């Protein structure tokens, strides 16, 4: 009896003495944030639905049915033009394809582009910006002028050159978008780093013999994470919209494949006659962006021990 009590006491004592890192603390705090957790669940559901899209609907995403063109969902009020459309939950588009399955296929592209391009921009931008800001002086000047030059290239021109050089393909979309969005990230991180490196704790770390790379990764980056996370949550929708713009120009995703951006821009054209073509993709996109925003806010708060 007392042995059990003792071992339990030793265990709690051990736990109290076990060091925790910022990241472990941040994870715990993030999971206490209800909005963030709910958002993660919703995002996970959308992702799973996108992954298992073929099993969730009996229609193929490219199956054309000229008998059921622009059919409203069966439950749509005041419209019963296509009584056979009862199984098209979200209705059909102008060539009779099932919108539900197309929204899910669109999610694949949009989420992939949004997340991957943002992650790429995050990694490159943060490392590049933090390095330039921390080293300062001439290195900083050269690195930031390189960014300025890339900034000044017209985006569309840049994408067209890429397409001409490498042919059109899906990967290129990531490269093109990623190549552009990291620039702003690098700028933001550099500015934050410049102010962070003046702080005494950076000097303290130098006095402790910590190497420049470890200072950047261990001290600077965690301390610039607030504005970075906010910018990331703004980047994801931006990237998704950029993709639809490229697709609109014929430089991105090609029919019959689709993305939310493409669906929304098509839907906007038929807003008056077939509003569901706009409503459903837009709804999915809006929910996703909300989720990213809540997760971003949660992350920022979780990574700031003072806010807790």
Q: Is 75 in the site for another protein (CB under 8 A)?
A: no
Count of positions on this chain that bind another protein (CB under 8 A): 29
> Using CB under 8 A, which of the segments 34-42, 97-105, 208-216, 229-237 binds another protein?
208-216
Task: Answer yes or no: are the C-beta atoms of 305 and 227 closer than 8 Å.
Answer: no
Structure tokens given for 11: 């265990």
How far is residue 205 from each of residues 36, 129, 159, measured CA to CA in Å? Answer: 33, 20, 43
| Chain centre distance of CA 24 | 23
Q: Which is nearer to another protein, 1 or 208 (CB)?
A: 208
What is the nearest approach in angstroms of another protein to the Cβ of residue 28?
A: 11
207 binds another protein (CB under 8 A): yes
Helix (H, G, I), strand (E, B) or coil at 70: coil
Whole-angstrom distance, CA of residue 286 vs CA of residue 103: 13
223 near another protein, rule: CB under 8 A: yes
Q: Report d(CA 53, CA 257) in Å as an integer.
A: 13
Q: Is residue 31 part of the contact set for another protein (CB under 8 A)? A: no
Min dist. Cβ of residue 19 to another protein (A): 5
Of 6, 211, 254, 269, which one interacts with another protein (CB under 8 A)?
211
Query: Out of 34, 199, 254, 268, which residue is the one contacting another protein (CB under 8 A)?
Result: 199
Interaction between residue 25 and another protein (CB under 8 A): yes
In the complex, least distance from residue 23 CB atom to another protein, rounded to whole angstroms:
10
17 belongs to the binding site for another protein (CB under 8 A): yes
Note whether 138 binds another protein by CB under 8 A.
Answer: no
Q: How far apart are CA 125 and CA 182, in angstroms?
A: 5
Output the smallest distance, CB 306 to another protein, in A: 5
The Cα–Cα gap between 199 and 201 comes to 6
Question: Which of 27, 247, 289, 232 has its CA nearest to residue 116?
Answer: 232
Position 219 contacts another protein (CB under 8 A): yes
Helix (H) or strand (E) holding 3: helix 2-17
CB of 308 to another protein, least distance (A): 9
- Does position 137 interact with another protein (CB under 8 A)? The reply is no
Question: Could you give the CA distance from residue 160 to residue 257 in angstroms, rounded to a whole number?
Answer: 20
CA nearest 237: which of 298, 282, 275, 188?
282
297 is an interface residue for another protein by CB under 8 A: no
Residues that bind another protein (CB under 8 A): 16-22, 25, 199-201, 203-211, 214, 218-219, 222-223, 303-306
């Amino acid at each position: 009896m007392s042995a059990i009590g003792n071992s339990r006491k030793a265990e709690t004592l051990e736990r109290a003495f076990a060091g925790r890192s910022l990241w472990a603390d941040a994870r715990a705090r993030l999971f206490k944030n209800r909005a963030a957790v709910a958002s993660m669940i919703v995002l996970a559901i959308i992702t799973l639905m996108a992954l298992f899209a073929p099993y969730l609907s009996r229609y193929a995403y490219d199956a054309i049915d000229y008998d059921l063109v622009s059919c409203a969902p069966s439950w749509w009020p005041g419209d019963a033009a296509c009584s056979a459309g009862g199984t098209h939950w979200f209705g059909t588009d102008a060539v009779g394809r099932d919108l539900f399955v197309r929204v899910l296929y669109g999610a694949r592209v949009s989420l992939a582009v949004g997340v991957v391009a943002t992650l790429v921009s995050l990694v490159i931008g943060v490392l590049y910006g933090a390095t330039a800001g921390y080293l300062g002086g001439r290195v900083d000047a050269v690195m930031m002028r390189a960014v300025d030059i890339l900034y000044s290239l017209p985006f569309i021109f840049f994408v067209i050159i890429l397409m001409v050089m490498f042919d059109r393909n899906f990967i290129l979309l990531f490269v093109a978008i990623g190549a552009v969005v990291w620039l702003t990230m690098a700028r933001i991180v550099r500015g934050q780093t410049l102010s962070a490196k003046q702080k005494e704790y950076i000097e303290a770390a130098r006095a402790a013999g910590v190497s420049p790379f470890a200072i950047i990764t261990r001290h600077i980056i965690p301390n610039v994470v607030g504005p970075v996370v906010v910018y990331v949550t703004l980047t994801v929708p931006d990237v998704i919209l950029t993709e639809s713009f490229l697709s609109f120009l014929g430089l991105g995703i090609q029919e019959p494949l689709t993305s939310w951006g493409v669906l929304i821009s098509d839907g906007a054209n038929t807003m008056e006659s077939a509003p569901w073509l706009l409503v459903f993709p837009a709804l999915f996109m809006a929910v996703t962006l909300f989720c990213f925003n809540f997760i971003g806010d949660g992350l920022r708060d979780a990574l700031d021990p003072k806010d807790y």
